[in-house]
Amino acid sequence: MNDLIYRPGLEGIIAGETSISTITGGLIYRGYSIEDLAEHATFEEVAYLILYGELPQPSELEQFQQRLSAAATIHPEIIEILRHIPAQVSAMDVMRTGASLLAHWDADEGDNGREANLRKAERLLAQLPVLMAARFRIEQSLEPVPSESGRSLADNLLWMLHGEEPTEQHVRAMDVSLILYAEHEFNASTFTARVVCSTLSDLHASITAAIGALKGPLHGGANERVMEVLEEVGSADRAEAWVRNALQQKVRIMGFGHRVYKTGDPRARYLKSLCAQLAETTGHQDMEQMANVIETVVVEEKQIPPNLDWPSARLYHYMGLPIPLYTPLFVLSRVVGWSAHVIEQLDDNRLIRPRANYTGPEARAWLAPGER
């Protein structure tokens, strides 16, 4: 196999084609820069764009929102199952189980066609926030808060989590974070989803597998590790000494570096200003200053810029969201991208089956038990 190209982690290997997004020259969804979308669009508009290929006309957006609102409920038996899942089970494990459970009550479960998969994608987009919020409240010994029609996805999510009216600033922050996490080309979880559906498995199976991939700390779980770093540092006046010692000890600081973005993650740059605004209004200026000190030292000493996990962890903290929800929030957004990739893969499917570079022993003769 010496004539085949091998790169650990498939780094730099083109594994397929997509019209959904590109990270060449920044991050672009269906031709639109992430900066423009985060500045001007709502998450619903971006979700429609990713799923259907174009920004929606006003009537299309209204109908899309109505479908999402109608779908934002889960079967009572699923709620009962959530009550019986042991308390120590992680939120991401619950999301993985929940995505699989939702398939059993989906009217299109047995249909793997394009139109059915679009309907299933919309339902998952509407239902996964309901599932996450219900489990969160059950863990707090509280009753789940039903979805309310007329609210945006970001607004409704915060409403279902807390059962009280969220501030406009929090809704805007959540909406932007959902936009920024919605899609990211052939990342580990998206590639997982495409591999699964390339066998002609169904959309729910593909999303369930993608959630499993996202759980890992080198992918979606990184934003939770970021918050652990900030809590360990504790205050801005300790930040410089802490980070310099960490770098000297060759400790990996989560939230920095990216396999593809070598000059900086455009999503992190955009979210940084929103973090600063939210820190100011919620009284977290010290944490924001601490993060800025750490970022400055890491960039100066290692020339490694932050990725999206670095500001998003702070953003969620400033909104009063607990750390175990950080990666599940990623799921609620990325389900749009995963679904679009499953649909795209199935439109012109070829089973994804790469080769391996064999490093085992050469051919050996069989030896009977007494001769070994």
- Residues marked as catalytic: 258, 309
| Range 49-55, long-range pairs (CB < 8 A, 24+ positions) | 50/20, 50/21, 50/182, 50/183, 50/336, 50/337, 50/340, 51/118, 51/121, 51/122, 51/336, 51/339, 51/340, 51/343, 52/118, 53/19, 54/30
Q: What gap in Å lies between CA 121 and CA 340, rounded to an integer?
A: 8
Q: What are the helix and strand counts (H, E) for the chain?
A: 16, 3
Distances (CA, A) of 31 to 20, 24, 293, 343: 8, 11, 35, 18
Q: What gap in Å lies between CA 182 and CA 50, rounded to an integer?
A: 8
Q: What gap in Å lies between CA 357 and CA 6, rounded to an integer?
A: 7
Q: What gap in Å lies between CA 29 and CA 31, rounded to an integer?
A: 5
Residue with tokens 């992430």: 34
By the 8 A CB rule, do 274 and 316 touch? no
Q: What gap in Å lies between CA 241 and CA 370, rounded to an integer?
A: 63
- Residues 6 or more apart whose Cβ sits within 8 Å of residue 311: 268, 271, 272, 274, 275, 291
